[in-house]
Amino acid sequence: MTGSSWRSATPPRRSPGGSMPDKSHIELERQIDSITVGVRHRKDPGELTALMKSIEEVGLLQPVTVTPDGVLICGWRRLEALRQLGRRTLSVWVRAGISDQLSHLLAQQDENEQRKPLSPVETARLYAEIKILEKEDAQRRMAATQFGGAGRDGEASGSGDSPEPCGDSRTRAAQLATGGNSYQRLEQVNRIQAITEDETLTESVREFASNMLSEIEDGAPVSPAYKRVKAAVELASKPPPPTSDEQDEVTRLAAEALKRVQEEENAKRLRALRNKAKRAPRHHSPRSFTLMWSELEGWTELYDVDELAGALKDDEWARFERVVTETIDLRDRLRDARTAAASA
């Protein structure tokens, strides 16, 4: 391979954290100038002083990742730090198994290069691929930091890299795939794609998801399509409607539950009335009584009986009858008291 020399060949091995093995990678030494850095939507690598200090102290324990053709995949900040340190070579991991679309995207040198735009589904698939590579690189750096020790001033030095300032793997993948930071629509497209391939779902749901993908390819907005597919999955996961016998049983149980609630409410109301009767009453003044009945005089002519009959609910009618009964009882007791007072 041009600009590189064999350092060591390693068979596929399990990545840190127990993730799936890396696909056909080898580790070797390569000249920095021979690595192709394509268009990076992130133009500023950020502050590299701590990273450069870490590399000088413990070296680059975590290589950058390149394609077999020498195109940079992950580790741009590490590469720039080494370049500023005046290094001529660096350790790289050669990562095979990436798609042609991703190789083309990474190798682009001219932002204005004419090429066929990717469809929304192709862009989402590319985003998912980049996200996997970014996660693998982050896991390797984390493992190297854990086992390689720490540099001075508390800087993580095992990986030869400092924390990325540009966000998580989703943001970085979105930047490379689209040029922007937003990944929500890309995640939604990939979720719809996953549903089309989920054999635990019914064929009708998978077909509906596939139709939504086709609409997105034709220019339909992603979010409404995603919401419809999500709703279809939720509806399909609900239990089937009850049979006629089951529905009758449900109706019976509901009626019994309502009856119990009403009985409990009535018992509660009765207890409240009894407790209220036991307490010493706080009577209003005779003037308050006179004013209230002055205001109520003629109130029975204000309402239409037929309209009330159709509008009042059972509990409202029960309350009205209860108040009328209480009023008649008060009238009888008050009449008796007046008669007794007059006799005296």
For range 232-249, the mean pLDDT = 76
What pLDDT was estimated at residue 145?
A: 64
Lowest mean pLDDT among 62-71, 97-106, 194-203: 97-106
| pLDDT computed for residue 278 by the predictor | 66
Residue ranges per structural domain of the chain: 4-120+132-161
Instruction: Please identify which residue in the block is written with the tokens 């999500």.
Output: 230
CB atoms within 10 A of CB 171: 17
How many Å apart are CA 117 and CA 123, to the nearest integer? Answer: 9
Which residues does residue 92 pair with via DSSP β-bridges, in sequence order? 28, 64
What's the pLDDT at 102? 72
How much of the chain exceeds pLDDT 90, in percent?
8
pLDDT of residue 116: 56
d(C-alpha 3, C-alpha 24), whole Å: 20
| pLDDT 10s digits, 29-87 | 888 888 888 766 556 777 888 888 888 888 877 788 888 888 888 788 888 889 899 98
Task: Return the structure tokens found at 133.
Answer: 């590579």
326: Cβ contacts below 8 Å, ≥ 6 apart: none
101: left (phi over 0), alpha (psi -120 to 50) or beta: alpha
| Range from 74-78, 115-119, 256-260, 266-270 carrying the lowest mean pLDDT | 115-119
> In this predicted structure, what is the pLDDT of residue 238?
75
pTM of the model: 0.47
- What is the DSSP pairing of strand 64-66 with strand 89-95? parallel
Q: How confident is the model at residue 107 (pLDDT cuts 50, 70, 90)?
A: low
The predicted pLDDT at position 14 comes to 35
Q: Is the pLDDT of residue 162 over 90?
A: no
Distances (CA, A) of 155 to 8, 33, 86, 149, 150: 28, 28, 22, 10, 6
**pLDDT band with cut points at 50, 70 and 90 for residue 324:** very high
- Per-residue pLDDT of 264-322, as tens digits, reads 888 888 888 777 666 655 678 888 888 888 888 888 888 889 888 988 899 999 999 99
Per-range mean pLDDT, top range of 22-26, 167-171, 208-212: 208-212
Task: Write the DSSP assignment of 85-121 as a string of letters.
Answer: TT-SEEEEEEE----HHHHHHHH---TT---PPPPHH
Element (H, E) at 72: strand 72-74
The pair phi, psi for residue 117, each rounded to 5°, is -60, 145
Q: Would you state the pLDDT for residue 59?
A: 82
Q: Cβ–Cβ contacts within 10 Å for residue 100, how many? A: 7
Provide the pLDDT for residue 134.
77
Quick one: pLDDT at residue 17?
34
* d(C-alpha 199, C-alpha 59), whole Å: 48
| pLDDT over threshold 50, residue 223 | yes
Q: Is there a contact between 181 and 168 (Cβ–Cβ < 8 Å)?
A: no
| Per-residue pLDDT at 50 | 87
Q: What is the CATH number of domain 4-120+132-161?
A: 3.90.1530.10
Q: Which residues of 126-149 are buried (b: 16+ CB within 10 A; e: fewer)?
A: bbbbbbbbbbbbbbbbbbbbeebe
Q: Pick from 11, 22, 315, 293: which is nearest to 143 by CA?
A: 22
Using a 10 angstrom Cβ sphere, with 0-12 exposed, 13-18 middle and 19 or more buried, the burial of residue 156 is: buried
Q: Please report which confidence band the pLDDT of residue 163 belongs to, taking 50, 70 and 90 as the band edges.
A: very low
How far is residue 319 from each of residues 111, 262, 282, measured CA to CA in Å? 78, 14, 22
326 band by pLDDT with thresholds 50, 70 and 90 = very high
Distance, in Å, from the CA atom of 143 to the CA atom of 159, rounded to the nearest integer, reads: 8
Other C-beta atoms within 10 Å of 178: how many? Answer: 18
Sequence letter at residue 42: R
More confident residue, 156 or 228: 228
DSSP 8-state assignment for residue 154:
G
